[in-house]
Amino acid sequence: EIFDKMVRADGIILASPVYFGSATPQIMALINRAGYISIAKGRVFENKVGGALVVARRAGHNFTFAQLLFFFLIQGMIVPGSTYWNIAFGRDKGDVMKDEEGLRTARNFAKKMVWLIKKIKGLG
């Protein structure tokens, strides 16, 4: 069901908190399964727009961000940039909402993603 939604989507955003310097086991399972199925079905994610968002308490965000980006790149997807890495910091529920730079970066990323999808689809 999730794979089919990914195939139908114009863009894919993967997000994960950092668990011991890595993405969650659940998101890694999704990446591994969806990635292999995509390749087996003729690279169905190729030329889709994709990007990642990561939340960390303190560290490990760069490794986790890279893990998620590698999925998009090996699938032949197009990844828009932002004003910084799409990372926010927080420990407790709601803390991320206090990370002004992280939120600003995420908003900018979202705008770039929408812009790129529209360009690719010939809508903008």
Q: What is the mean pLDDT of residues 91-112?
A: 96
Domain of residue 35: give its range.
Answer: 2-120
Please work out, in degrees rounded to the nearest 5, the angle formed at the alpha carbon of residue 119 by the alpha carbons of 115 and 121. Answer: 120
The pLDDT of residue 91: 92
- Write the CATH number for 79: 3.40.50.360
- Residue 101's nearest CA partner among 81, 80, 86, 79 is 86
Q: What is the mean pLDDT of residues 24-48?
A: 97
Q: What is the mean pLDDT of residues 81-102?
A: 94
Instruction: Tally helices (H) and strands (E) across the chain.
Output: 4, 3
Q: What is the mean pLDDT of residues 108-122?
A: 96
> Quick check: 124 pLDDT over 90?
no
> Quick check: 123 pLDDT over 90?
no
User: Domains in the chain: how many in total?
Assistant: 1
